[in-house]
Amino acid sequence: MMLSNVQSDVEKINKKFKDVEERRNAIIKGTRDATILCSKAIVSLHSHKKEESIEYIEKAKKLLQEFKELGKDDLQRYLYIAEQEYVEAFCLFSIAENSIIPGMKSLDVSDISYVMGLLDCIGEIKRMIIDKIRAEGTSNVNTLFELMDKIYGIIYPLAVYDNMMPGLRKKLDVSRILIENVRAIVTEEQRRTRMIDIIEQFEKKIMANENSKFE
């Protein structure tokens, strides 16, 4: 039959793409669930619920491991967003615990996901700093500020590879804005705190002088 080879090959192609489509749909659903879990982990962390946060992170990790096998090489890109969220959540948890930020290998994520997730983490560090300023003033925020600045500095040289990591330069630009915004907030708050201290000292001095007149 003249078309026997064509018929056979088209059937193979159809089977191949059907498999890819089924895996793609499963990955999209699974990674969406993992992304939601990571978002919940970050919210819990900001609410000082660390045990709840790590539970969400571990659940997300299991989902990613499950769908990583489905992704293989041809569908790897569908894992990027969920992996980024996972990197962001896990690294933020490490920062909150004052422990070493994990590397790409230990997190078992792609290089793109690792870099993008770290940059996303800068925005969450800013939130931690703002919360600390509200609760404690500026006395304990310098370490966090230096950390977000160093993360940016370490990743910045990769900006030349924006064509291979689409969106990298934009994330770097956003991160730079966040860092400068935090710098301005911390500087202004420290200035305000010093002014309050000066006023209080001046008021105490006046009160002491007034009291001495009646002695």
Residue 7 domain-assigned (yes or no): no
What is the per-residue pLDDT for 215? 58
Boundaries of domain holding 65: 14-102
- Length of the chain measured in residues: 215
User: Is 160 found in the same domain as 95?
Assistant: no
User: Is 125 found in the same domain as 54?
Assistant: no
Q: Report residue 84 as tokens.
A: 């980024």
Report yes or no: 59 and 81 within 8 Å, Cβ to Cβ: no
What is the per-residue pLDDT for 212? 62
What is the per-residue pLDDT for 53? 96
What is the per-residue pLDDT for 57? 96
What is the per-residue pLDDT for 209? 64
DSSP string covering 2-55, please?
TTHHHHHHHHHHHHHHHHHHHHHHHHHHHHHHHHHHHHHHHHHHHTT-HHHHHH
Q: Report residue 207 as tokens.
A: 């009160």
Q: pTM of the predicted model, to two decimals?
A: 0.83
User: Is 52 found in the same domain as 31?
Assistant: yes
What is the per-residue pLDDT for 214? 54
Q: Report residue 177 as tokens.
A: 């804005």
What is the per-residue pLDDT for 210? 62
Distance CA(46)–CA(13), nearest Å, equals 49
Of 71, 102, 133, at which residue does a domain stop? 102
Residue 214 domain-assigned (yes or no): yes
Distance CA(53)–CA(71), nearest Å, equals 26
Can you say how many angstroms the Cα of residue 200 is from the centroid of all Cα atoms in its chain? Answer: 40
Report yes or no: 35 and 83 within 8 Å, Cβ to Cβ: no
What is the per-residue pLDDT for 156? 96
What is the per-residue pLDDT for 175? 96
3-state helix, strand, coil in the chain (%, to 5): 85, 0, 15
User: Is 54 found in the same domain as 32?
Assistant: yes
Q: Which DSSP helix (H) or strand (E) runs through 100? A: none
What is the per-residue pLDDT for 117? 96
Distance CA(6)–CA(8), nearest Å, equals 5
What is the per-residue pLDDT for 119? 97
What is the per-residue pLDDT for 183? 92
Report yes or no: 122 and 148 within 8 Å, Cβ to Cβ: yes
| DSSP label of 137 | -
Which of the residues in the chain have pLDDT under 50?
Answer: none
Q: Is 205 exposed, middle or buried (0-12, 13-18, 19+ CB in 10 A)?
A: exposed
User: Is 161 found in the same domain as 64?
Assistant: no
